[in-house]
Structure 1
Amino acid sequence: MWGEKAWVSPASLRLPHSSTAFQIALPRQVDKFCCRTAVKKPLLYTTQLTVRFPRLAPMALITVTILAVTTVFLILRVGKARKLPQGLREVPVAGNVTDMGAYPQQQLRKWAAEYGELFQVRFGRQVWIYANSPSAVKEIFDKQSQHTSSRAPSPVVSDLLSGGMRFLLMPYSAEWRRLRAIVHKLLTPKASNEFIPSQEFEAKQLLWDILTDNDSQKNFYMHIRRYTTSVVMTSTYGRRVPVWECEDIREIYGLMQEFSEFATPGKYLAETFQVLAYLPQWMQWWRKAALRSFNRQAVIWMKYWNRLRTQMEKNQAPDCFVKQFINTDYKKMGISELQASFVAGTMIEAGSETTSSALNSCVKYLAAYPEAQAKAFAELRRVVGEDRLPSFRDEAELPYIRACVKEILRIRPVTTLGSPHYTSADVVYKDWFIPANTTVAINQHALHFDPARYENPDDFVPDRYLQHPLKAGAYAAHADPYARDHFDFGAGRRICPGMHLAENSLFITIACLVWAFEILPPLTDDGKIGSVDVSDAAYEEGMNTLPKPSELRFVPRSEKVVGLIRREWQHAKQEGYMLGLVKVNAQGMVVD
């Protein structure tokens, strides 16, 4: 679930205790400065963005006059009359930000019901136009994708903090198209299926972890997050994450935390008033901090990249995305190693938390809707039985499990604000005109909760997808826009390249968890059965859909199941698994 998210970030890690001075080539930025990285044992990482008012540095006061003059000019400027999508009543300066509230998806649904297929809102200086019908998404994002596949200019978050290299934030360009071609080639359904042995291995550890370490009714949350991070790291670098408390987790989530702090909407005036990016560099008070952060990212992503290169030189590298990337002619295409390492890093950032969010959401909904869980278990008992674990070989005979995957992606899409693209030319849909240099967004919540398409849309009802036997990519490519199962992976040329890997992870994990455990509401301190909250209040505030840590019971289906989980995990630890033609042990190391 990697291509269509706003951005992912964790919430509570401070970086530093060791420091290193180094020199590294930086594109269009600077040549040298000091990096400080941290290795700090985390208690709990969460990923989210929240909106805060910026604290102005002293240098910001120098620009007050510039802002005032610019604002007056923009207000007085008279443009040609256009037939634009209907706009909403705005608050001066803030636009519609104050209308959004803590859970913007609720307001976006209401506006779609009121204004129809398209409407426009303003967030500060930025105008967003939302597409609220399948036909609008098909026409604007698929058929006119050559004009709607860019990203909005971002002088701080994209240009400085990411060095112009973060794949998800790059504008539509020849460089982005070259990278996209490589990424999609290496993440096809066939290529993604190469990692099925890894996903089945990780699912066995997940069952064991929950079986032996969920007495608090809380630890399942982190075990699921370890599972998804390990799957993504294995597919990207051939490197497992066997435990949550490890250096890789601290580094990756540390970078994500720092990125989220910089990317918080409203933190930097230069993101809203982009004329400030043209100030002399010495007046850009945000510049040094952003470049230091970029340097930290570069060091960590290049460390992973170089480590795999060393493994390749020793013929000890398992098959993975980066190994295949290195074996392409990427340098002949003008792609640097640093840029390539950022593409791999973006995959790790984007893929880890989105999939774990969907899984942690799904177990909550299964506990809250026992009738759906009962149907899923009955199917598993009929097809799989009690003498073995589910596997991908069973997928065709498990339509209800597949329906659970689709339903959780419908009811809890990855972002609360929709999937934003940016127009590089004028776009026309029906009798609406969308000018160039405008943000256009897919309103997943309006699409997924349309009562005309989904009966009782606020209820978790996997049965609605029993007539959808194909994966999401097949429905996204369908000529009929109303044939799509859901829009969680986006659309057009920015559609999520990692959706095949994500769907595989969701399928095998949900199948194994429901086969092994009855997922129940928690017990309260006085021994009573508690409740399961699946309302918006059970999710973190911000741009990305992230369930808050919660409590659930995972009760083994039988003693026979307990014994099988134990034997399967012991055998998996001894035998390892195959990545392509290479055998890997439980530590993620290649076995001769």
Structure 2
Amino acid sequence: MLYTTLRILLGAVALVAFICIFMLRIGSRPAGLPPGPSTIPILGNLHQIPARDSHLQFQKWAKEYGPVYSLIMGTKTFIVLSSDVAVKDLLDKRSGIYSSRPDSYIGAEIISGGLRVLLMQYGPTWRMIHRMVHNILNITAAKSYVPYQELENKQMLLGLLDDPNSFVNHVRRYTNSLTTQMIFGFRTIDIHDPKLEVLYNGFEHFCEATSTGAAAFIDFFPILRSLPDFLVPARKHAKKLHEKEKDLYVGHWLGVKNAINAGKAKPCFSVDLAKAQIKEDFSDSLAGYISGSLLEAGSDTTVATLVGFIQAMVLYPEAQKKAQEEIDRVVGPDRLPNMDDEMHLPFVRGCVKESLRWMPTNIIGVPHAVTKDDEYMGYKIPKGAAVINNVWSIHMDPARHPDPYKFDPSRYIDDHQTASEAAKNPDPSQRDHFVFGAGRRICQGMHIAERSLFLGMSRMLWAFDFAPAKDENGVELTPDQSKLKQGLFVMPEEFQALITPRSEARAQKIRQDWKDCQTLLDEEMQWKEVPRGMVFSSTAYDLEKEVSLEV
């Protein structure tokens, strides 16, 4: 009896010891990984990630541990790439195994229902979506959307003229309306459109929710996912966010399907998506998130860059003056700049590139995931590791960009590459910036974004002067370029700016140009006819003849 009891006791002690040893190994850095900050049991480096401005900590570690370092986040391994060479070598040249996404419970599974393209893991569904999206976002397609960009830009200028204090809202409507036309076939005509507000508020909450400590713990310690909702409030909140954004995205999508059945849908991506749905037999929920993901991507990141540009013009008047002098010399006072002027405005083109470098919305990138064991620089990179494109550290490397915190478009005065050409350049030091990502996950909408940014910046500079706002005592309110809204994607914290027309003649030109646009629009301010040259492969009428869609 005593012998049996002793055996049980020893077994229990051994089991406890085994569990303790196993638990203590969680959070430790396995041999062979790239170097990194010291870890503690269970948490690894998780306790060292600040709640705000984590990009600054990632930059500090890059200086200490080099261009490739590792972080241990609980049960997960992160590999951080902080040089242009490392990004080129792994995310571009080895994209066949570096194109997936890491497991994201709150962001991908709960908020997105496993349907958000941005966070979708590499596989057949992602590749199908990628092919479809390429058809409307490639370089040839991008050129066909200029009539949309022209019209929306002119309405934005009128908004800035009449209500300059709401400049963020006017920029948001500009980028959102361009995207809703391409994706759904309708314009967003008002800065107070409820769906516009739901989109931006929802995406802001998504970015915040996916970057909280609670979300990180659930991602890095999967055992916590088995707990009930009352013990995991982050999941309860995430479910509510999913309901709201699914209503918006699937609602937009079903609206197009109803219009197709009624024979009223205008040519747009969603009409082609409906045709693909017939062939591929995917759900309305997935279709809603495909179209919604494009709406999200086309609306939010371009806004953040343009708002960052406005802040730069307030903070760096010498750059503003130089850009305006170039525009006045090339374009003159009697017309707005257009895409034909782009190659003759190298400093303004530099403003586009520098805005993307100086205020990178994708500040530490959306992590990739490696799908099999790999080795780089003598270090092991284990299968399943998250791989971070450390955009901020690369952009703020003084060896790459002298005086990196200064907004200086002249850095790019001799750079005639598009963002796509720069990303494909075999010499990584010649890439202009890394905001659009890398490898197979590179942003497919970069051609459209560059045109929207050029038209937005060149025309705002042609039309307006930007200066610091003043308080009631006449004291200038100077924005702080280091203060950013936090989340997966960032933009400047709210700031005020004094935006005034450069002359009465230019103000009148803005009003006249918008008045001339009215002939293109119906009584509901929608296009009477879709401009010629659009790339959509089918019209609503053609699709309706093929099949009546079940809604």
Q: Give the structure-2-normalised TM-score.
A: 0.85
What amino acid is the match of 1:565? Answer: I
Q: In the alignment, which residue of structure 1 is the partner of 2:60? A: 110
Q: CA deviation at 1:237?
A: 1.2
CA distance in 1, matches of 2:243, 2:185: 24
How do residues 289-328 of structure 1 correspond to structure 2 at under 5 angstroms? 293-327=241-275
The 1:285–1:209 alpha-carbon spacing in structure 2 relative to 1, beyond 3 Å, is closer
Shift in CA distance, 471/407, structure 1 to aligned 2, threshold 3 Å: same
Paired residues in the alignment total 511
Match of 2:105, SS state, is: coil
1:140 match: secondary structure = helix
Distance in 2 (alpha carbons) for counterparts of 1:488 and 1:80: 30
- Pair 1:436 & 2:395 matched: no
Distance change >3 Å, CA 257–CA 76, structure 1 → 2: closer
Moved more, 377-386 or 272-281: 272-281
Q: Which of the residues 569, 579, 584 maps onto 2:514?
A: 569
Structure 2: how far apart are the matches of 1:133 and 1:492? 15
1:410 equivalent in structure 2? 357
Deviation at 1:124, TM superposition (A): 4.0
User: Cα offset for 1:407?
Assistant: 0.3
Question: How much has 1:336 moved relative to structure 2?
Answer: 2.7
Q: 2:479 aligns with which of 516, 533, 536?
A: 533
SS of alignment partner, residue 153 of structure 1: coil
Is 1:513 matched up with 2:463?
no
1:486 aligns with 2:440: no
Larger mean CA deviation between 306-315 and 103-112 belongs to: 306-315
- The amino acid of 1:128's aligned partner reads F
CA distance in 2, matches of 1:161, 1:170: 12
- What 5-or-longer segments of structure 2 have no aligned partner? 1-16, 522-526, 535-551
By relative contact order (CA 8 Å, sep 6+), the higher-ranking structure is 1
After superposition, residues 377-456 of structure 1 pair within 5 angstroms as: 377-456=324-403
Give the 3-state SS of the residue equivalent to 1:464 in structure 2: helix
Q: Distance in 2 between matches of 1:254 and 1:72?
A: 45
Match of 2:502 among 533, 536, 557: 557
**How far has the Cα of 1:488 moved from its partner?**
0.7
- Is 1:581 the equivalent of 2:532? yes
Once the two structures are TM-superposed, the CA of residue 69 in structure 1 deviates from its matched residue by: 9.5
1:333 maps to 280
Structure 1 gap segments, 5+ residues each: 1-67, 584-592
Instruction: State the distance in 2 between where 1:166 and 1:359 align.
Output: 25
Shift of 1:442: 0.6
SS at match of 2:152: helix
- Does residue 274 of the first structure (1) align with residue 225 of the second (2)? no
In 1, distance between residues paired with 2:277 and 2:425? 32
Partner of 1:62: none
| Contact 1:355-1:502 within 8 A present in 2 as well | yes
Deviates more, 1:303-312 or 1:252-261: 252-261
**Conservation of the 8 A alpha-carbon contact between 1:301 and 1:345:** yes
Which residue, out of 68, 84, 92, partners 2:33?
A: 84
Task: From the superposition, tell whether residues 570 and 580 of structure 1 become closer, same or farther in structure 2 (CA, over 3 Å).
Answer: closer
Structure 1 counterpart of 2:157, one-letter code: L
Equivalent residue in structure 2 for 1:119, among 46, 56, 69: 69
**1:456 to 1:290, Cα distance in 2 relative to 1, 3 A:** closer
User: CA 1:496 to 1:582, structure 2 compared with 1: closer, same or farther past 3 Å?
Assistant: closer
Name the counterpart of 2:540. Answer: none
* Residue identity opposite 2:494 in structure 1: P
Answer yes or no: is the 8 Å Cα contact 1:231–1:240 preserved in 2. Answer: yes
Matches within 5 A, 1:2-21: none
Distance 1:534 1:467, change over 3 A: farther
Counterpart pick for 1:198 among 137, 148, 152? 148
How far apart are 1:278 and its partner, in Å? 6.0
Q: Is the 8 A contact 1:206 1:227 kept in 2?
A: yes
Shift of 1:166: 0.8
- Check conservation: 1:195, 1:579, Cα contact below 8 A: no
Contact 1:428 1:434 in 2 (8 A): yes
Aligned residue number for residue 53 of structure 1: none
How far the C-alpha of 1:290 sits from its partner, in A, is 5.1
SS at match of 2:218: helix
SS of match in other structure, 1:419? coil
Find 1:136's aligned residue among 86, 89, 93: 86
Deviation of 1:138 (Å): 0.9
For the structure 1 residues 77 and 450, does the alpha-carbon distance in structure 2 shift closer, same or farther, using more than 3 Å as the test? Answer: closer
Q: Name the amino acid aligned to 1:192.
A: A
> Which residue does the alignment assign to 1:460?
407
TM-score, normalising length: structure 1: 0.80
Partner of 1:185: 135
1:75 aligned residue: 24
1:29-44 → structure 2 map (5 Å cutoff): none
In 2, are the aligned partners of 1:86 and 1:119 still within 8 Å (CA)? Answer: yes
Indicate the structure (1 or 2) with the bigger Cα radius of gyration.
Answer: 2
Shift of the alpha carbon at 1:416?
3.3
Partner of 2:544: none
- Of 115-124 and 498-507, more deviation after overlay is shown by 115-124
* 1:365/1:534 contact within 8 Å kept: no
Specify the code of the residue in structure 2 equivalent to 1:207: L
**CA shift digits 1:452-501 (9 cap, x unpaired):** 12111111110111121121011111222222111111101111112122
